[in-house]
Amino acid sequence: MLERGCVQVYTGNGKGKTTAALGLAFRALGRGLRVCFFQFIKGSGVYGEHLLAEKLAPQLTIIRSGRPGWVNTKDITADRQTAQEALEQATKLLTSGDYDLMVLDEINGATAFGLIDVEQVLELIRLKPEKVELVLTGRNAPEQVIEAADLVTEMRDIKHYYLAGVPARTGIEM
């Protein structure tokens, strides 16, 4: 168990936010901490991390939420409903005492799309048990969330191979 848990934010337009959170999970698992990796707006698709997680259960739990496909930005009603239910579930897990490290992957994206309100994220941060580490990832972290966090890293895209025509690759991007 951690002596003291902090709030970390990984934001910005560069590659490395979700993977940094996965790396934190990796290290924490090595130390025997219990990890919940909760993914927002990632309803479909299997990623490499899900496959390894099966081997590392029950110390690691990965939960995916979100509708299949991408957020319908023209009408967010259904996506918001799904995200709100996920938020409720994530809040229960955060305060359950079952986990030392709680990652809310892409919650910043969900907030930027209007699926979750900034005030709800701030409330989640207030509810964080003292000895739980909370990690929030995703682009466009709101200013108030950055203020409430203990550590914030911006991943800045300096150069990306998507522009050179490299597609998402199994084992690297997914």
Asked if 31 is part of the footprint of its own copies (rule: CB under 8 A), the reply reads yes
Q: Is 139 left (phi over 0), alpha (psi -120 to 50) or beta?
A: beta
Asked if 57 is part of the footprint of its own copies (rule: CB under 8 A), the reply reads no
CB of 169 to its own copies, least distance (A): 6
Residue (14 or 43) nearer to its own copies, CB: 14
Choosing from 38, 40, 42, 53, the residue that interacts with its own copies (CB under 8 A) is: 53
Alpha-carbon separation of residue 101 from 24, 35, 134, 156, 170 (angstroms) = 9, 5, 6, 25, 26
Q: What is the spatial order of strands in the sheet that 60-64 belongs to?
A: 7-11, 133-137, 101-105, 35-39, 60-64
CB of 41 to its own copies, least distance (A): 18
Residue (34 or 80) nearer to its own copies, CB: 34
Alpha-carbon separation of residue 93 from 10, 56, 62, 102, 159 (angstroms) = 21, 18, 12, 8, 37
| Cβ contact 102:134 at 8 Å | yes
CB of 166 to its own copies, least distance (A): 6
Choosing from 68, 74, 164, 168, the residue that interacts with its own copies (CB under 8 A) is: 164
Q: Contact residues for its own copies (CB under 8 A)?
A: 2-4, 6, 8, 10, 12, 14-33, 47-53, 100-101, 133, 146, 149-161, 164, 166, 169-172, 174
